[in-house]
Every structure is written in structure tokens, then in C-alpha cells.
Amino acid sequence: MKNLIGTAAICFMLLSSAGCADREYKDVSVIPYPHTVQVSGEPVALPEKIEISVKDSILLQEAEFLAAGLASSGFETSVSASGMHAGIHLAIDWRISDEEGYRLETGKKRTVIYGGTPAGVFYGIQTFLQEVAGGTLYKGTIEDAPRYRWRGFMLDEARHFSGAERVKQLLDIMAYYKMNRFHWHLTDAQGWRIEIKSYPDLALVGGRGSHSDPDAAVSYYTQDQIRDIVEYAAARHIEIIPEIDMPGHATASNRAYPEFNGGGTEQFPDFTFNVGKEGTYAYLTSVLREVASLFPSPYIHIGGDEVYYGIEAWKTDPYVQSLMKREKMTDVREAERYFMHRMIDSVSVLGKTVVGWDELVDLNADRDRSMVMWWRHDKPEYLDRSLSLGYTTVMCPRRPLYFDFIQYGEHRWGRIWDGFCPIEDVYSFPDPWIEDLTDEQKSHIAGIQANLWCELNHTPERVDFMIFPRLCALAESAWSMPEVKDFSSFEDRLEDAYELFDSLGIYYFDTRNPEHHPEPAGPEIRKAGKQKMDYRD
Ligand code: ACM
């Protein structure tokens, strides 16, 4: 895998011999567009030997990150912990109040990147590298800070497994565009993708199969691999939030440990955990204890979505019925709520905050211990209620932020639902959607996130095609204030993203020329799976 900074650095070198600088561009070519740009338009040429200095030793990691990328592309770099000589200087400036904010001052001989924290400096570095790669490194000052603190992307590896190398490349690109939350959907009906030492068959048995092939080879992440990826993400200021979906979407787990199976329906067999068995709570708490120890994030996502696909079975399950009798419940939905409350308790005891899909709004859960992801675009009342009840809320509505929806009218392999998710709609999100919310409601919005479900995304080409370049639009919607957003400027700046994607071998959808990379076909489904009516095919 090519290194992103290395790629930028190639242009860096060319720039000094006037290669990338040829392009006419009136503003800086940076995605997401920064808040305040005061540049002269006078290009700055950089030397081939670059000295990187830091004022504060906590910035050594940022300096090494920058230097390693430059060195891998043939630059001579040096990092020193003192001085403020020519070259690139990194410093903390406590006056920058936003913890991810930065100020980038570019002069003829010296560039200084100030941040309120190392994360701010890191984002200043990304802006700098993009300016260089796009040939728009100008004398002047850029001051910047994000609109939202949650700038997320979710990848579903349960339906089809991508693997560590692909995930790391995605993390690289997310960081380059200043995204900071990776939501990892690791378990679902079709596969369990994380090693749990106390229940090894979760990975060894539950990890077999995929959405398109129930006999696909076992694939999952070992705990060592997870730790490595978590560390890789952290070095890029990305927090990873694991999702262990419950009490629905449990089929893979039930294959491994059928004693906790709560049943399902003919279309979705073995879909739920058995919420009536006491052992289920101990089992899932043990799983979550291991998960909690692997991920430093303060959050664990426990799903909670679409339980209705399998809940019918609870009406006749003797254990669920006995629980309902004991607790004087009259409806299986009450058993679902009971389960979720107990699991929220378990997550709290593990010192974490629960994240759940927007079904959580119906639970009357404690808002200090839980956070909501609003996904049902056809139920805007759930966003309204979530915010009115004071839940910290991430907005990821299917339209326009489910990247398994098609992005172009002539595409066939992806979802539609009274429309689809073109890049323009990702770019304009969230403003038209939130304009009727009160300021109090808006204050509970943590940010936005796009989700890639992978039922139909079974190859690297398909995964790339659905993510890129919509991820760039998402990044700008999450970071940039509405007053600096402009779709036609964004399209100009996408040219540099396409150049980067070409250099990395990414199979993106080319908005300039839809024929450039034809739409890759989805998988043949070997066994009737969760193929819903809203797919084109
Ligand atoms: C979801 O799409 N079931 C959260």
C-alpha cells in the first residue's frame, strides 16, 4: 500500500521543480475547505531537504509521521525537538480554543503549524500536505476548526470481510480528510469478525461465511490485529467504536453458541439472542468485557436495531415467556426493552457509554449513559425526539448517508428508497435537514456519519466504488462551516482527490466521467439472504 503522505510528497518534490504548481487555482485545494483562508496567491517553493522542528515534545509523533512520509518519497528530512529554523515547525498554541483547531502560517522560508492540541497540529499537517499536493501552497495564513466533533464512517465487515490492509488504507484516507471516528460493524447475521478468547467459537464458527456465500472461509480479526489497528488509527487521531449488534442480527453468534439462541422467523432464522435466559446476559457481558479492553474509545455500540425481524419467536419461546411472566410483561417489545436496559447497565459497569441505533429513543434509557445514531431517514420524528430528550446524537440517515445506496441514476447494484444518495446530497447534508430544529436541539448533535453496509459490497472494487468520492463530500459536510461550502469549488478540488485515488489504485466512481470506472457487479447470492425489496436487483 502506498503511503498517502508519500503521495503528497511526490507532488511536494515536483512542486519545487514547478510540476504540480502549473494548475491555475484561485483558492487552496483542500478538502474539507478551511474556515479562514488568507493567502497571497504567491506560490511557495520548498527545498528538497526539509527540517522539521517541534517546540513541544508531545508533537514528536506528529513530526515523525510527517517526516516518515516525506522520507519514504525520497526527501531528506530531519526532526529536532528544538529551534524554529527554516522548514516546518510544529507548535502547541494554547490560545487555539478548539481542541482540533489549527493555524497554518506559510512564509517563503518557513511554515509553522500551530494547534491547540496534537490533533489540531495533525489536521494542520493534512491541510499543508493537500496544498502541496494540489500545487496551492501559498504564502499566507489559514485558521481552521471543525464544525462537528463526530466525523464518522462505518464499515460493515460482517456481511463481507475487507481485512486489515484495506481498513488501514481507509483510515489513512479518512485522516487525510480530517475524519475522526471509525465505527466498526463487526458482528451480524452473516459473520462474527472479532476473536473473543472466552468464547473462541464466535470467531472460529461464527466467522465462517458471508452474505453471498455461507461456506466462505473463516475470516475475523484476532485480538492482536485489533490492537494493531486501534493503535494505527489513534496515531491518525481516529477513534474506533466497535459494534456488537444485539439482541437482533445474532445469527452468526447463534451458530457458534446455540444455547443463547432466541430464534427468528422463516426469513431470518436464529436472528435473536434469547433474552429470557439468564446465561445470555453473562455471555454477552463477558464478550463486551473483552471488547471494552481492546478499544480505548469511551463508547461501545450495541446495535439494538431491527429486532422486529426475529421477535415473533419470543412469543412462544419458553424462556422469554417465563421472563415475561415473572416481570409482568404483556408484549415481547417489553422483553426487548428489558434486555437493552440490562445491557446498558453492563456497558456502564465496564466504564463505557452505550451507542445504539435510533430504536434506543423508545427505551427511556438514561441519556448520560447512552448515545443515539439516527438512521431512519423516513422517521425524522426519531431525530426530533432524540434531540428533544437530550440524547447526544449522530446523524447518519439512510438518505443521503448510507453509501450502500447507489450514487448515480443508472447504477443497478445498490439500494434505492424513493431516490438514492448522490454526492450532491451528501455535500448539502445536514443543513436543509436541521433548519427547523431549535438551537437547544442542535446543541445535542455530535456530528454526522456515513455507513457502508456490505451485503452487496463483496470486493475491494465495489467497496471503493461506493465510498469514493462520497467520503470527500462527507468530510467537508462534517468539518466545514456552511458559509465556506460551495459545490462547484468542491468539484474543482476533487480533481486532486482523483489524482490521489489513482495513485493508490482505488476504484472510485468518477463523477466527471461515469464511464471511467464502470459499476462493478454485486455478488451472486448463493443462498437466499437478507435481500430486500429496495435493492434494484
Ligand atoms: C441499520 O441500518 N439497520 C441500522
- Looking up residue 94, the CATH number of its domain turns out to be 3.30.379.10
Number of domains in the chain: 2
- Residue 3 scores a pLDDT above 50: no
Residue 204's pLDDT band (cuts 50, 70, 90): very high
pLDDT at 1: 34
Q: Is the minimum distance from the CB of 131 to ligand 1 under 6 angstroms?
A: no
Same domain, 171 and 135: no
Domain assignment present for residue 416? The answer is no
Q: Ligand 1 centroid vs 71 CA: distance in angstroms?
A: 43
pLDDT tier for residue 10 given thresholds of 50, 70 and 90: very low
How far, in Å, CA of 297 to CA of 230, rounded?
Answer: 9
pLDDT in tens, 240-252: 999 999 999 999 9
Which atom of ligand 1 approaches the CA of 357 most closely?
A: 4
The verdict on 234 and 374 lying in the same domain is yes
Buried b (16+ CB within 10 A) or exposed e, 323-337: bbeeeebeebeebbb
CA of 347 to the centre of ligand 1 (A): 21
CATH assignment at residue 475: 3.20.20.80
Atom of ligand 1 nearest to the CA of 375: 4
Q: Residue 4: which pLDDT band, with cuts at 50, 70 and 90?
A: low
Length of the chain in terms of residues written = 537
Residues 330 and 433 grouped into a single domain: yes
Please report the pLDDT score of residue 531 as a whole number: 41
3-state secondary structure labels for all residues of 428-492: HCCHHHHCCCCHHHHCCEEEEEEEECCCCCCCHHHHHHHHCCHHHHHHHHHHCCHHHCCHHHHHH
Residues 130 and 177 placed together within one structural domain of the fold: no
pLDDT above 60: residue 11: no
Residues 43 and 192 in one domain: no
For 225-234, write each residue's pLDDT tens digit.
Answer: 999 999 999 9
* pLDDT at 72 (0 to 100): 63
Query: What is the pLDDT at residue 42?
Result: 85
Q: Residue-wise over 106-137: b if at least 16 C-beta within 10 A, else e?
A: beeebbbbbbbbbbbbbbbbbbbbbbbbbbbb
Domain range enclosing 391: 150-407+421-489+498-532
248 shares a domain with 357 = yes
Show Cβ contacts of residue 252 under 8 Å, excluding neighbours closer than 6 positions: 158, 187, 188, 189, 190, 191, 192, 202, 206, 207, 209
If asked whether residues 193 and 253 sit together in one domain, one would say yes
Q: What confidence category does residue 5 fall into, taking pLDDT thresholds of 50, 70 and 90?
A: very low
Residues 347 and 452 in one domain: yes
| Weakest-pLDDT range from 106-115, 194-203, 271-280 | 106-115
The four Cα atoms 201, 202, 205, 211 give a dihedral, to 10 degrees, of 180
Residue 382 CB less than 6 A away from ligand 1: no
Domain presence at residue 415: no
Q: Are residues 348 and 274 in the same domain?
A: yes
> Could you tell me if residue 232 is inside a domain?
yes
**193: amino acid identity, one letter:** R
Specify if 413 maps to a domain: no
376 Cα to the center of ligand 1, angstroms: 8
The closest alpha carbon to 103, from 93, 314, 232, 204, belongs to: 93
- pLDDT of 442 strictly over 80: yes
Pocket test for ligand 1, best of 156, 307, 375, 402 (most atoms within 8 A of CB): 375
For the entire predicted model, the pTM comes to 0.94
Amino acid at the residue 439: D
321: buried, middle or exposed (CB in 10 Å: 19+, 13-18, 0-12)? middle
Contact 5, 129 (CB under 8 A): yes
φ, ψ (nearest 5 deg) of residue 394: -105, 135
8 A C-beta contact, residue 369 and residue 348: yes
Query: What pLDDT shows up at residue 535?
Result: 41
- Whether 537 maps to a domain, the answer reads no
What is the model's pLDDT at position 21?
41
Query: For the chain, what is the mean pLDDT?
Result: 92
- Average pLDDT for residues 340-354, to the nearest whole number? 98
Q: Do the beta carbons of residue 302 and residue 356 sit within 8 Å?
A: yes
Classify residue 412: in a domain, yes or no: no
Domain termination site, one of 79, 109, 144: 144
Same domain for 426 and 454, yes or no, is yes
Predicted pLDDT at 71: 73
SS3 342: helix
Atom of ligand 1 at shortest range from CA of 453: 2
Question: Does position 85 have pLDDT exceeding 90, yes or no?
Answer: no
Q: Is the CB of 308 under 6 A from ligand 1?
A: no
Cβ atoms within 10 Å, residue 420: 19
Q: Which of 249, 301, 306, 308 to mutate to test the pocket of ligand 1 (most atoms within 8 A of CB)?
A: 306
pLDDT at 429 over 90: yes
Examine residue 37 and state whether it is found in any structural domain, yes or no: yes
Among residues 119, 144, 169, the one where a domain terminates is: 144
